[in-house]
Structure 1
Amino acid sequence: MLSLIELRTRIEAGRLTPRQAVAEAQAAIAERDPGLGAIVCSDPDPVVPGEGPLAGIAVGIKDIIDTAHLPTQMGSSIYAGWRPRADAAIVSRLKALGAVPLAKTATTAFAGLDPARTVNPHDPAHTPGGSSSGTAAAVAAGMLPLALGTQTGGSVIRPAAFCGVAAIKPSFRLLPMVGVKTFSWALDTLGLFGASIPDIARALALIADRPEIDASGEGSRSPRIGLCLQGFAGEADADAAEALSRAARAAEAAGAVVTDLTLPEPFARAWEVHPLIQDFEARQALAWEYATHRDTLPPVLGAQLDRAQALTAAQYDDARRSAHRARRQLKDVFSEFDAILTYSTTGRAPRGLGSTGDPRFNRLWTLMGVPCVNLPVPGDGLPLGVQVIARFGGDGQALAVAGLIATALARS
């Protein structure tokens, strides 16, 4: 994989120019993407700034995020060839830092559950996950050092785990959603994918203009970690359970205090109502597409919106109250723990391209709005990851704990 930090180190030392760094990404795309389908389109002659803290960093932009210089097609024929007049706020921020929004990465249609054309870089017979399918695959295949995704249920953490890359779904609204196609305005969150925890920490600190996020060495060296199995969400498979156990042992070896954590009933109820909140809002966010192009929508999304027509405002309001109760109680949980360690996925990437996998271990945390980090767990076979979660606004803490465990895993 291409490391953002390594590229920037070479550039700052004068061993690589920003233009050469972007050319490396272009060459990797040309060589590797034909077999992966991760890239929808790319800029053949990009403007490459010579200065800036992200100069020379080619970025993949999930294809529901507006770019003025490249089409934004939402993974749907409805928007084939569509060119926004302006960049999304996040794209403008990347450009201001010197980064190059080089390519649009494949997304499932409107960031829903119908699979995109992308395959898993580790085995093309397996899904890369979704909805940020192309984003995760492009980073895993070494085509891009940084890429943007979004998460409404599990669309950052799950594909990152399936493809074996580091990723963060930051605290809700830490990054601006202006110019990003909405599915659920109470849930949609921009996320970052990179080669390692330090890479995404550096990128998030710069993009959010919060240097403290990258102060990974300044956190507690004995964090209190709650090991949470999320029993209300069902069971993970044996491989995922072993990866979580390995991560917990590594955390303890690094000095962390790991304690079993069972979440009380309000969290089970919040987990239950996540789909209702999501679908009630999706019905409105995609009202034009549903009213004018219902027959063009892919099967899973079309059926999902069909069912959503029957949802009532009273059901939605009750679900929101349940979510609010759980968020209040989560503050008490984080008075006892610095981070939560849990599953990223139910297991390795499923075989076949008919599904993007199950987001059951992600959706509660998206609803809670808290920062979530996928930490790859080294091993044989298809990748596995675990999820590190911190309190709302504790993005630096989540990354610091994930970095601590990553270092311990590398030593074990």
Structure 2
Amino acid sequence: MEPYELTATQAASLISKRLLSCEELARSTLSRIIEREPIIKAFRFFDPDQVIRNARELDQTAPKSELHGLTFGVKDMIDTKDMPTTHNSPLYYGHETNKDAACVAVVRHRGALIVGKTDTVEFASGGRMAATRNPYNLAHTPGGSSSGSGAAVGDRQLQLAFGTQTGGSHIRPAAFNGIYGIKPTHGLVSREGAKQYSYSLDTIGWYGRCVDDLMLVGRNFRIMDLDEPAPTTLKGLRVGLCRSPNWAKADQWGRAALMQAARLLEAEGAIVFDLDFDDRFSKLNHAQEVIMKSEGRSAFLPEYYAGNPAFNGYFVDIVMNSQGFTKKDLLHSYDLAAECRVAFDNLFGPELDVVLTLPAPGQAPEGLHTSGDHVFNAMWTLLHAPCVAIPVGLGDLGLPLGIQLVGPRMSDARLLEIAKLCEPVLDPEPGKLKLVTQDEAVTFS
């Protein structure tokens, strides 16, 4: 096994025992990137010489955490002190801030090796699509807006990477690239230094190749000790199977993946039952759009007033409120979100441990003109709920399929522990996804 193939957890163990140097891991990683970047196009910036220099410095430094020397990518709308932050926008080509965003500073101070800036949909919102391709099929999207981060981890070019989510920009690429991802509870990770779209929705998360990788990063963000102990076995775990109010948007392979996951968990002793929501929840996707676009008006106002002709019309429409959302619409959406957050959190307890649902309608759609539909993410983002993506197999096109686990607010540590229980059942051979069986004619009670 080449060093770049190691999970973050495996590499951390070898580095701590001095069986692998940071420079060895860096050189192996760069060889992989240089080989694959012309094909996958996951990066907007990386400097091999800088990476080697930083790796050598880490080899001369006492490790501060398990992150020491691990390869980390940063979505190119999150600031880095030694690399440009372009937002994939012609307005910011070559732009440098000379300061790390808070999330980058955390992992850098803890010893992570920042390898480069990964491609993103413009401003992590819309307009220009990322140039990144899906590593499983170059004709298909890797998802977005965290396109480069998802594809780089999925293609074994990075062990870890930051993404962000306002609608479905983090969890959906995890599903499309066959990797693990966590979107934490909103506000749990500081967004200082990341381009704002919607202040009440934007959330920073990260990708890894297994649940342990997600937990490794989570420990350094101090989220692993915030909740009560999790179950220690799948037997008796109460799993609410949520088709969601948007079930009609799922394709046959997405539905099959979810049903397969439910059956596998039930076979291990989990108590799986259909979880339905009242009518309020069917309105959450629309409320998320109202809030996102309304808050986006102020987020993109500086670029609008700058009068640069390169400012994409997508953002002009947001600033000009082309959809005509009113003050009443926005206030109603805020109130509905607050009401449903409390109602959702209150579902959990003796009768419910975790929600099992789709992270995307199905396999990644064809074409780089799209990043996919966030229809199965927007509701959870608006609820501020933590979500963990787990790969479960391949569809008929050879493209990954996944599921997501969702918990109540501030249950991130417990949710990751539950995900770790589910991992060997849903993804028994990490990195070797098998075809999902098409049998969705199952009900759970």
**TM-score of the superposition, structure 1-length normalised?**
0.95
* Greater CA drift, 273-282 or 300-309: 300-309
Deviations 1:128-176 (A, max 9, x none): 1100000001101111100000000000011111111100001111111
In structure 2, what is the equivalent of residue 355 of structure 1? 370
In the alignment, is the contact (CA less than 8 A) between 1:61 and 1:148 conserved in 2?
yes
In structure 2, what is the equivalent of residue 364 of structure 1? 379
Offset, 1:233: 5.9
Structure 2 counterpart of 1:193, which letter? Y
Offset, 1:298: 3.4
Offset, 1:328: 1.5
From 220, 227, 243, the counterpart of 1:229: 243
From 423, 430, 435, the counterpart of 1:406: 423
CA RMSD of aligned residues (A): 2.1
Deviations 1:24-58 (A, max 9, x none): 22221111111111111113323232312211111
**Gap regions ≥5 residues in structure 2:** 430-445
In structure 1, what is the equivalent of residue 169 of structure 2? 155
Distance, in Å, in 1 between the alignment partners of 2:230 and 2:15 is 23
Offset, 1:9: 1.4
Distance, in Å, in 2 between the alignment partners of 1:227 and 1:212 is 25
Give aligned pairs, total.
412
Relative to structure 1, is the Cα distance of residues 26 and 118 closer, same or farther in structure 2, using a 3 angstrom cutoff?
A: same
In the alignment, is the contact (CA less than 8 A) between 1:2 and 1:144 conserved in 2?
no
Please give the residue correspondences for 1:1-400 in structure 2 after superposition, counting only pairs within 5 Å.
1-43=5-47, 44-46=49-51, 47-48=54-55, 49=58, 50=61, 51-53=63-65, 54-114=67-127, 115-208=129-222, 210-211=224-225, 218=232, 221-232=235-246, 234-293=248-307, 295-308=309-322, 310-335=324-349, 336-379=351-394, 381-400=398-417
* Greater CA drift, 228-237 or 120-129: 228-237
Deviations 1:193-226 (A, max 9, x none): 0111221122112233635789878477532110
Offset, 1:21: 1.5
Offset, 1:255: 2.1
Offset, 1:401: 2.4
Distance, in Å, in 1 between the alignment partners of 2:44 and 2:230 is 34
Relative to structure 1, is the Cα distance of residues 410 and 72 closer, same or farther in structure 2, using a 3 angstrom cutoff?
A: closer
Deviations 1:347-402 (A, max 9, x none): 10001111110000000000000100111012351000111001111112222222
Relative to structure 1, is the Cα distance of residues 209 and 268 closer, same or farther in structure 2, using a 3 angstrom cutoff?
A: closer
* Greater CA drift, 112-121 or 288-297: 288-297
Structure 2 residue matching 1:402: 3-state secondary structure: helix
Amino-acid identity (%):
34
Distance, in Å, in 1 between the alignment partners of 2:303 and 2:369 is 23
* Greater CA drift, 394-403 or 91-100: 394-403
Distance, in Å, in 1 between the alignment partners of 2:428 and 2:75 is 34
* Greater CA drift, 300-309 or 186-195: 300-309
Relative to structure 1, is the Cα distance of residues 207 and 332 closer, same or farther in structure 2, using a 3 angstrom cutoff?
A: closer
* Greater CA drift, 188-197 or 304-313: 304-313
Distance, in Å, in 1 between the alignment partners of 2:118 and 2:228 is 26
Structure 2 residue matching 1:337: 3-state secondary structure: coil
Structure 2 counterpart of 1:340, which letter? V
In the alignment, is the contact (CA less than 8 A) between 1:219 and 1:400 conserved in 2?
no
Offset, 1:271: 2.3
Distance, in Å, in 2 between the alignment partners of 1:334 and 1:144 is 35
Deviations 1:76-106 (A, max 9, x none): 0101101003111111111111101110000
Distance, in Å, in 1 between the alignment partners of 2:265 and 2:111 is 36
Offset, 1:184: 0.2
Offset, 1:232: 4.1
